[in-house]
Amino acid sequence: MIDLAALTSLRAVDTCGSVVGAADSLGFTPSAVSQQVKRLEKQTGVALLERVGRGVMLTAHGRRLVDDGARLLTELEEIESGLQRDAARVTGRLRVAAFSTAMRGLVAGAVRDLLDQHPELSLTLTEREPWDTVDLVAAGQQDLGIVHQWGDVPLHLPDHLVSVTIARDVADVVVPRGHRLAGRTRVSPRDLVDEPWVATPEGSICRQWLLRMYDGTGRAPRIAHVAMEFDSHLALVGAGLGIALVPRLGRSALPPDVVAVAAHRPVPSREITVVHRASMAESPAVRAVVEALRTN
């Protein structure tokens, strides 16, 4: 009989493209993942992986096993969730991925109380960008993901994932205290067309939203500096090197040398959602985590 735990490992290898990546996502050692795949190959009598460069990919047999086996794993997940629902028990281990400001502003405050209330529940937290989080939850490498969507910048979800809105967040334009706009109550993109920006990396959701803000101005934002962390944005703004668009969620206390000014036309707002597989919808543990985040 096919070992379902080993099948989960094979699916992780497919998602990550390597045994090492699969081991990291599952919390196993690479040796353990390799042994599980070899066990599957012995059970099925066919080769499931082939080496390509420094990575590996599924053989045709491996692809069929992963694709057909996904239905089995989904059904088992539904059965497990239903059993826990019937027993009314918040128990088990959930893997949760969240973007950085949500980790600081939502997750950290909610998880401690949640675990105190439900001692049979265990959570593993990982910081990831929203697009990566969606892929990991969809592939079964994470159980819940906390993601965000700015305005009309889409975050597409596969059909087998569901999302629940838990919060809304707003970003402010942060400028040096001596800046010409520091005394304003609000600003629009037209007030900022010539300003140098400190921005998140190209391709990030926050960068895409900054670009969308300038629609209708006939200009694009002038990106002077790039930094991943918003704390770095605040430091660069404080040094007089530019301005930045910084969300309120998880934001550190503003240093004395910067000022936050509200933005409008449009208001830079984002929707914070939790995503999980539809097969886990009946799980009391999933519901408890979602509710704790919603009320935090």
Closest C-alpha among 285, 294, 271 to residue 110: 294
Question: Average pLDDT for residues 215-241, to the nearest whole number?
Answer: 96
d(CA 157, CA 171) in angstroms, rounded, equals: 24
Q: Where are the alpha helices (DSSP H) in the chain?
A: 4-16, 19-26, 30-44, 60-87, 100-102, 108-117, 130-138, 205-213, 230-238, 284-295
The dihedral over CA atoms of 47, 51, 55, 56, expressed in degrees to the nearest 10, equals -20
Q: What is the pLDDT of residue 71?
A: 86
Residue with the larger pLDDT of the pair 14 and 272: 272
Partnered with residue 174 across adjacent β-strands are 244, 260
* % the chain with pLDDT above 90: 70
Q: What is the pLDDT of residue 173?
A: 98
Q: Residue type at 131?
A: W
Preceding omega of 284 cis (within 30 degrees of 0): no
Residue with the larger pLDDT of the pair 164 and 73: 164
Closest C-alpha among 143, 183, 163 to residue 280: 143
* % the chain with pLDDT above 70: 100
Question: Average pLDDT for residues 72-91, to the nearest whole number?
Answer: 85
Q: What is the pLDDT of residue 152?
A: 80
Q: Which contiguous run of DSSP H or E holds residue 56?
A: strand 55-58
What are 112-167's pLDDT values in tens digits?
999 999 999 999 999 999 999 998 899 888 999 999 999 888 888 999 999 999 99
pLDDT at 296 over 80: no
Which whole-number Å values give the CA distances from 95 to 124, 131, 240, in the listed order? 5, 16, 40
| pLDDT, mean over the chain | 92
Q: Which domains, ranges and CATH numbers included, belong to the chain?
A: 4-84 (1.10.10.10), 93-164+272-295 (3.40.190.10), 168-270 (3.40.190.10)
What are 29-56's pLDDT values in tens digits?
989 998 999 999 999 999 999 988 777 8
Taken in order 176, 178, 183, 187, the sign of the CA dihedral is negative
d(CA 50, CA 48) in angstroms, rounded, equals: 7
CA atoms within 13 A on the CB side of 104: 12
d(CA 57, CA 63) in angstroms, rounded, equals: 9
- pLDDT category at 77 given cuts 50, 70, 90 is confident
pLDDT at 20 over 90: no
Distant-in-sequence, close-in-space partners of 64: CB < 8 Å, separation ≥ 6: none
Closest C-alpha among 54, 21, 188 to residue 10: 21
